[in-house]
């Protein structure tokens, strides 16, 4: 028997508990990325205060990345849910495909712009000559993984809208857990410094993204991302 989306059948009071608690826990875990990086960087003898200053300079940029993922993720998942409530599954899948396209596009665009204007942007955010090399080393790799963070965070909202709040929480736990494990390996064992902290972060976000995409491309999901006719889907969805 095929599992149905509980958003269309259960009581609102039950749904608030069932969906809000995993979402709150997941967002708290998602905040561990920067905290964990700061802990390991601050305790690295060759990084210390300058390394902490470098990651602090880049933190507002990572918040912008977060906001882009939420922009298309929350907005798209809202439209997705509305269309499901209207008993229009095809239009719901158009919203999903459209949001996926926008998440990919914005992630790639953010990566390109970040690589081109990294130095001036970091100086604009207050990086001094001493801190700039540390911030540059960290953020250059973070920008390469921008698409991973944006797509994984954005589609995480669609997991909840597809009736999978616990899976959405587990996905965040998985990413944060991988980051906690890889950080000391890259920073202390491989002596990769700021690059190691950034690499651990983007690798963990890549794993989260692959996990979510595997769900939406599989038959486990109620609504799959259809790669074929993506251009047509994008065109139609913008007219909804």
Q: φ and ψ at 84, to 5 degrees?
A: -65, -40
The pLDDT confidence band at residue 227, using thresholds 50, 70 and 90, is: low
Burial class (CB in 10 A: 0-12, 13-18, 19+), 236: middle
Q: Are 159 and 171 in contact (CB under 8 A)?
A: yes
Q: Which is more confidently placed, 138 or 239?
A: 138
Given this model, what pLDDT does residue 150 score? 95
* Cβ contacts of 208 within 8 Å, gap of 6 or more: 148, 152, 156, 171, 172, 174, 175
Q: Which residue from 141, 176, 185, 126 is spatially nearest to 156, judged by alpha carbons?
A: 176
Global confidence as pTM: 0.86
Q: Which is more confidently placed, 204 or 11?
A: 204
For residue range 8-60, what is the model confidence (pLDDT) as tens digits? 677 777 878 888 888 888 778 777 777 888 899 999 989 989 999 999 999 89
Question: Rounded to an integer, what distance in angstroms lies between the CA atom of residue 216 and that of residue 18?
Answer: 21
Question: Rounded to an integer, what distance in angstroms lies between the CA atom of residue 172 and that of residue 211?
Answer: 10
DSSP secondary-structure letter at 4?
P
Given this model, what pLDDT does residue 240 score? 42
Domain residue ranges of the chain, discontinuous segments joined by +: 8-237
């Amino acid at each position: 028997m095929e599992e149905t989306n509980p958003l269309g059948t259960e009581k609102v009071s039950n749904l608030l508990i069932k969906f809000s608690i995993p979402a709150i826990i997941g967002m708290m875990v998602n905040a561990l990325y920067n905290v964990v990086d700061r802990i390991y960087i601050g305790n690295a003898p060759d990084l210390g205060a300058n390394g902490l200053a470098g990651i602090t300079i880049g933190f507002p940029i990572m918040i912008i990345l977060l906001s882009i993922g939420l922009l298309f993720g929350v907005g798209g998942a809202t439209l997705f849910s509305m269309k499901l409530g209207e008993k229009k599954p095809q239009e719901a899948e158009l919203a999903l495909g459209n949001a996926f396209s926008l998440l990919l596009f914005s992630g790639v665009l953010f990566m390109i712009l970040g690589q081109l204007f990294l130095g001036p942007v970091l100086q604009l955010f207050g990086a001094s000559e001493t801190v700039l090399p540390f911030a540059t080393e960290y953020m250059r790799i973070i920008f390469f993984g921008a698409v991973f963070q944006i797509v994984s965070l954005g589609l995480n909202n669609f997991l909840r809208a597809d009736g999978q709040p616990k899976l959405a929480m587990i996905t965040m736990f998985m990413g944060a857990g991988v980051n906690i494990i890889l950080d000391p390996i890259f920073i202390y064992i491989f002596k990769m410094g700021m690059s190691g902290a950034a690499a651990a972060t983007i690798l963990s976000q890549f794993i989260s993204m692959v996990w979510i995409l595997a769900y939406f491309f599989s038959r486990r999901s109620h609504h799959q991302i259809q790669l074929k006719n993506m251009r047509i889907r994008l065109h139609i969805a913008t007219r909804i």
